Structure formats: structure tokens, C-alpha cells
Amino acid sequence: MTAKRIGQPRAIVLVVATGLLVSACGGAKVGESTAASSDGGQGANKQCGSVTIAVNPWVGYEANAAVIAHVAEKKLGCKVTKKDLKEEVAWQGFATGQVDAVVENWAHDDLKKKYIEDQKVAVSAGPTGNKGVIGWYVPPWMAEKYPDITDWKNLNKYAALFKSSESGGKGQLLDGDPSFVTNDAALVKNLNLDYKVVYAGSEAALITGFRQAEKQKTPMIGYFYEPQWFLSEVKLVKVNLPKYTEGCDADAEKVACDYPLYELDKIVSKKFADSGSPAYELVKNFTWTNDDQNTVAKYISEDKMTAEDAAEKWVNDNPDKVKAWLPAS
């Protein structure tokens, strides 16, 4: 969920070209021969080769990638490499041949134009089934004590509650990883709010902040999103920003409206799509719900399972859903 969603920059991500070489994929290329799956799964008679999946820095994405990788390895006999990459960097991999699939994309119309329309090195692989929501949230205790705080027009009267050592005398609006898709700095400016965006640095830091704010009854307002397993633990309350309308976010500097509802999708390299690999059919067919993703994400984040073990548990518990993703024999 980085850099831009629907044309809005989260933050400028500075990258050196060699960054994509981290964890470079070894072995056969996509479509080349490797050992076929020995478990008799659908598609086992087709040679898969190696597949490289980008992993963006939030646990919901990690859940998607883990399940797809598990099925590709165990059912299709693929060799899967997962690379931890920021969103914009991952898209660069389509052009260099170092990334085959991004398995949770949050709009990024600018990147779609560059890599799909202009360079023609990537193609859409359809929706993930997940519905994405981005916004500003407060812990439940605050919404109960200050019920009008959920209307953005009242935020300035509460700004003093959110002051921090990093907010320069203004209210602190806590964001996550600077690479995440965000219009928050523009929103603060254009809505004339007495706040300053401060970056927590990661999804985990945001979760810790909200968890402590609810437990200790301390003020916090911050960026958050769905799907996210944490919302089943602490039912954060969304602040109502000015209603989103088509095109209200077209100019990143002038955004003064809420975020849209995102239809999350998958993007793959054109070379991968044309390779004939059954792994491409798996990625294309993959679809699940927010609840499915949250289940696996909770296994990883809260239950401290490895991504591989979390994926295996979910796959074993949902054989019919997995079967529907597999290419025909």
C-alpha cells in the first residue's frame, strides 16, 4: 500500500537500482523445468519452474503471498522466491525481470500507466477479492468519551489532546511506514487542521500505538486500514473525512476528501503471464475474503506462527477454496 493509490503519493521512495538484487532468485527461470509436484495435486503434470513474488511491508500482503507460495510449492512443484520490497520498488522488478507477481496492489494508477500501458512489461491478474479501506481512526474509548470527534470538522478543538514531542505544538496524526499510500499531509493542509503527520515507521508500530492508547486510555489519532486482523481485537472507530467523490483526489497537492474504497488486485509481469507456467494460473485464480486474509495475518502477527506454518494451516482448513485456484490438469 505504498507510494500512490489512485494517483496519490504516500511518500517519495528513494531506491538504488541494486535494491532489487536482494534475495535474487536462483535456479530455473519461469517456465523452465523443475521437479513436478509429488502430491498428485491439480496441475502437477505441468512444469512450473521458479516464481518470484514481491512481499510488501504489511502483514495482510504477507498473508496473501504466504498462501500463494505454499500452494505453488506443494501443489504445483514450483520453486518460489519471496522478496521483501516496498511497493514502488516491486513494480520496478517487472521491467528488470526480477519480480513475477505483486499479490496485493492498492490501485497505483500512476504505476499501472507506467508499467502496463507505457512500458507494457506488466499486466493485471484480476482482483484478490479483498476490499480495501484507508482512513483516520481513533481508539474506541475516545469515540465514546468524545462522540463528535469522528466528524473531521471537530478535530481542531481536540488537537491539543494529541500533541507530542514530535508534532511541534500541533496535534499528532500518526502514520505508518512512509512508503504506504497516504494523502494525509495534503489533507491536513487543505482541511486547515492544526495537526502534523508523524511517521511511526511500520504497521507494527501503528498497532502497538493503538493497542496502548485503548488500554491506557491515552489520546491517539492515526492512519489505519482494512483488511487488518487487529480490528477484530480493538474496534477502532473511523473519522468521517469529507466524502470521496470521483476525481476529488486527482491532484495530489489539492486532496481534501476521504480515501476511496479500493478493489485490491494482483499485477504480474507480462513475461510471467505469457510463460505458460501453472503458477500464473494460480495467481490469476487466487481470490479470498477480508476474513480469510485476517485469519492468516492473525496467525502470523498475534499467534507468532511463521508465514509458512500459517499458510499451511489455512490451506489445510480450506481445501475447497484452494482447489478452485488450481489450474486444470
Q: What is the pLDDT of residues 66-76, one digit of tens each?
A: 999 999 999 99
The residue with greater pLDDT, 62 or 9, is 62
Which residues, listed in sequence order, are joined to residue 223 by a DSSP beta bridge?
136
**pLDDT mean over 256-282:** 96
Angle, CA 132 vertex, CA 322 and CA 20 arms, to 5°: 75
Block residue for cell numbers 494529541: 162
Contact 195, 172 (CB under 8 A): yes
**pLDDT mean over 182-195:** 97
Q: Which segment of 22-31, 183-192, 202-211, 272-281 scores lowest on mean pLDDT? A: 22-31
Q: Is the pLDDT of residue 42 over 70?
A: no
Contact 139, 215 (CB under 8 A): no
Domains of the chain, first to last: 4-13+20-128+266-325 (3.40.190.10), 133-254 (3.40.190.100)
Tens of pLDDT, residues 95-146? 999 999 999 999 898 999 999 999 999 999 999 999 999 999 999 999 999 9
User: pLDDT tier at 1 (50, 70, 90 boundaries)?
Assistant: low
CA distance 321 to 243: 36
Which residues, listed in sequence order, are joined to residue 90 by a DSSP beta bridge?
none
SS3 percent helix, strand, coil of the chain, rounded to 5, is: 40, 20, 40
Contact 235, 150 (CB under 8 A): no
Predicted pLDDT of residue 246: 94
Predicted pLDDT of residue 47: 85
pTM (predicted TM-score): 0.78
Predicted pLDDT of residue 17: 37
Q: Is the pLDDT of residue 16 over 70?
A: no
Q: Is the pLDDT of residue 298 over 50?
A: yes
Predicted pLDDT of residue 184: 97
Instruction: Give the DSSP H or E segment for 251.
Output: none
